[in-house]
Amino acid sequence: MRILMVTAEFAPLAKVGGLADMAAGLAAWLAAAGHEVRVIMPAYGVTEPPQLRPVTLAEAPAGLEVFELIAPEHFGTPPVYLGDDRDAVRFALLGEAALAHAHADGFHPDIIHAHDWHAAAAVALPAPWHPTPPTVLTLHNIGYQGIFGLDALPDGPLREALRDPTVVEPRLNFLAAGIARATTLTTVSPTHASEILTSEYGAGLDGLLRERADRLHGILNGVDYDLWSPAHDPLIEHPYSAENPGGKADNRAALLEALGLVVDDDVAIVGMITRLTAQKGLDLLIDALPGLVAAQECSLVILGMGEARYVDALRALADAHPGAITLLEAHDETLAHRLLAGSDLLLMPSRYEPCGLTQLYAMRYGTIPVVRATGGLADSVQHFDPLTGEGTGVVFRDYDVGGIHWGLTQALAWHAEPALWRQLMTNAMRSDFSWEKQGPAYLAVYSALSGAVSGAKQD
């Protein structure tokens, strides 16, 4: 099949969150499975004359072509998201340009696959050729919809196509327009697919989504284990694996040294790698932290950037509890890998989590996830049962201080029992969320739409 993929993020070229890893992993897997995948994304911070420029990626499978949209007037300023009305113009252009390019180049795909609101114009607009191919819109995060006043775009068909169909007042809503018009919708876990049909999790789109529920599929994200395996991760200092876990302790020591932390061997390092936003449970974390550090022996290391209110609160907590709480306000891929490898636990107290990738990575690194039972966290982490020896992490249910407290207490109790902990680590490290397992569900969606028989070579 020929697939035109449109996205604002694509690892390693532009990454703000998990979207970048997911788009890159899925595209690479599809190409490796024998499909022709063409990705269109913006070139951020590039001020050359406007054009679509092919990008050469190291180790890209044959069949994967990535084109960067160079538009200095719109994407010449580096950040991926500017956070104001200019984003309406920028991402409307992305969708329009992707369609125009596919047409001019005669690429005419069997499927157009757009990710999140930034690419939704590519499915809200009719293709400039006939017949318009079937379209897929993947919802990675409906907390961001691309809502703007009508004036953010000039009068015309584009503006009409992106009007918000869910409200009476005239305004733009890229995501809602895409949801209304895409042939099929996917989101990134089965649990989240049912959650977003409720008013609690629907972010105002649950009514529209319920109308389209028969077209909505929940498919858990995959992991590119070529990039995320402690056995051959070039970004960590000491390789290790489920069979040979010894190097994990060396990575822990290296991490502590790099951070200038002195922590006893039996005290658990709890890592967090996260955008500092409400979605990720930062309000809960900040409420819970003083009680947690008073009651528990653990050292929490938080890596991430985000909203100033959370940065300030965490900074104050870190200052008040040196050694127990460390804030690394950065966006740093190398540090992310090293924190995964060096931590004992990974904490994800998300308010909502469409899929979540860090818990999937953590498991492979033998870093036990402590997660709230929502979305993809609920679908990927199995609460450990010491009696049967089954399970891969700790799952707490309630989004409150009691819930997170219970989860961490449980994890630390198991951490104090070496035999149990080894079992839990082995289970986690053997879990498999590879694209080889998750990718075929996307092919099934595409095939059903295009009527094409998949030519993928699968065993």
d(CA 7, CA 114): 6
Would you count residue 18 as binding ligand GLC (CB under 6 A)? yes
The residue within the footprint of ligand GLC, chosen from 3, 6, 14, 22 (CB under 6 A), is 22
Q: Minimum CB separation from ligand GLC for residue 271, in Å?
A: 17
The residue written with tokens 């200019």 in the block is 86
Parallel, antiparallel, or unpaired: how do β-strands 394-396 and 135-139 relate?
unpaired
Would you count residue 354 as binding ligand GLC (CB under 6 A)? yes
Fill in the DSSP letter of residue 303. E
The residue within the footprint of ligand GLC, chosen from 221, 296, 374, 450 (CB under 6 A), is 221
Q: Minimum CB separation from ligand GLC for residue 310, in Å?
A: 16
For the chain, give the longest Cα–Cα distance: 66
Parallel, antiparallel, or unpaired: how do β-strands 216-218 and 147-149 relate?
unpaired
Would you count residue 439 as binding ligand GLC (CB under 6 A)? no
The residue within the footprint of ligand GLC, chosen from 158, 177, 301, 355 (CB under 6 A), is 355
The residue within the footprint of ligand GLC, chosen from 124, 357, 373, 443 (CB under 6 A), is 357
Would you count residue 356 as binding ligand GLC (CB under 6 A)? yes
Query: In the numeric block, which tokens belong to residue 170?
Result: 């005239």
141 or 450: CB nearest ligand GLC: 141
Q: Which amino acid is at 113?
A: H
> Taking contact as CB under 6 A, which single stretch among the options 70-78, 106-114, 125-133, 347-355 is the one that binds ligand GLC?
347-355
Q: Which amino acid is at 60?
A: A
143 or 323: CB nearest ligand GLC: 143
> Taking contact as CB under 6 A, which single stretch among the options 61-69, 165-173, 350-358, 378-386 is the one that binds ligand GLC?
350-358
Q: Minimum CB separation from ligand GLC for residue 443, in Å?
A: 18
Would you count residue 140 as binding ligand GLC (CB under 6 A)? yes
d(CA 281, CA 453): 43
Which residues from 362-381 bind ligand GLC, rule CB under 6 A?
Answer: 376
Q: Minimum CB separation from ligand GLC for residue 435, in Å?
A: 13
> Taking contact as CB under 6 A, which single stretch among the options 212-220, 306-314, 322-330, 354-362 is the one that binds ligand GLC?
354-362
The residue written with tokens 């007037």 in the block is 73
140 or 364: CB nearest ligand GLC: 140
* DSSP, residue by residue, 107-124: ---SEEEEEHHHHTHHHH
The residue within the footprint of ligand GLC, chosen from 125, 353, 427, 450 (CB under 6 A), is 353
- What residues contact residue 180 under an 8 Å CB cut-off, 6+ apart? 124, 165, 208, 212
> Taking contact as CB under 6 A, which single stretch among the options 163-171, 260-268, 290-298, 348-356 is the one that binds ligand GLC?
348-356
> Taking contact as CB under 6 A, which single stretch among the options 14-22, 311-319, 327-335, 421-429 is the one that binds ligand GLC?
14-22
- For 161, the 3-state DSSP assignment is helix
Would you count residue 80 as binding ligand GLC (CB under 6 A)? no
d(CA 197, CA 202): 6
Parallel, antiparallel, or unpaired: how do β-strands 36-42 and 2-6 relate?
parallel
* Contact call for residues 426 and 432 (beta carbons, < 8 A): no
19 or 259: CB nearest ligand GLC: 19
Q: Which amino acid is at 292?
A: L
d(CA 193, CA 175): 16
17 or 50: CB nearest ligand GLC: 17
Q: Minimum CB separation from ligand GLC for residue 428, in Å?
A: 18
Outline where DSSP puts E strands in 19-105: 36-42, 51-55, 64-70
Would you count residue 133 as binding ligand GLC (CB under 6 A)? no
What is the number of other CB atoms lying within 10 angstroms of the CB of residue 79?
Answer: 12
> x-or-dash pattern for ligand GLC, window 161-190, by CB under 6 A?
---------------------------x--
* Length of the chain as a residue count: 459
What is the number of other CB atoms lying within 10 angstroms of the CB of residue 286?
Answer: 16
15 or 238: CB nearest ligand GLC: 15
d(CA 313, CA 9): 29
d(CA 110, CA 134): 7
Site of interaction with ligand GLC (CB under 6 A): 17-19, 22, 140-141, 188, 221, 353-357, 376
